[in-house]
Copies of this chain bind each other. A is one copy, B any other.
Amino acid sequence: MAIFSKTCEYAIRAVLYIAHKSTLGIKVGIKDIAAGIDSPELYLAKILQDLSRKGLINSVKGPNGGFYISDTSLARPLSDIVEAVDGNALFTGCALGLKQCSAVNPCPLHNQFKAIRDQIYQVLNVNTIGTFNEELVNGILSLKK
């Protein structure tokens, strides 16, 4: 299994793609985004609808319409995307799936995975949606392949 669901992988890649275009002042259509991150177009449309409803990204319909990201959203951490799509199980759940796992009733991996979960959260919380724009413009970073 991967760390994130496929849906969440698409979501993060798409949001970073939109962010990168937004800093260039460009609104992007779903077709463009799907091609830019190599994802199924119609499935991605559903995901972006959801993110749009949740206020993480913006969209306008019609000619010259498309998706974009506001400056305030550019400053939001990646953990917001993950939480919106996959929930917070990755940050708070027990590695072995126990409902009542905690410091006083720990599963065998409780302490060691607490550290891992914290590190995952930290990485996703420190990095904002806009963090990678420059390197995306430079082509140093990849969102497809």
Contacts and interface: CB of A to CB of B under 8 A. Distances in A.
Dominant secondary structure of chain A at its interface with chain B = loop
A135 to B, nearest CB: 7
B135 A108 contact: yes
Interface string A94-111: 011111110001111100
Contacts of A96: 4, 9, 12-13, 143
A16 interface: yes
Contact of A142 (B1, B12, B101, B140): B101
Interface residues of A, number: 48
Contacts of A12: 96
Nearest to A102: B142
A87 interface: yes
A119 interface: yes
Contact of A144 (B98, B109, B132): B98
A3 B141 contact: no
A141 B13 contact: no
Q: Return the 5 tightest CB-CB contacts between A and B, nearest first.
A: A9-B97, A108-B132, A1-B86, A112-B123, A100-B145
Given A108-B136, A108-B141, 10 more contacts: A1-B86, A1-B90, A2-B95, A12-B96, A105-B142, A108-B127, A112-B127, A116-B119, A116-B123, A119-B119
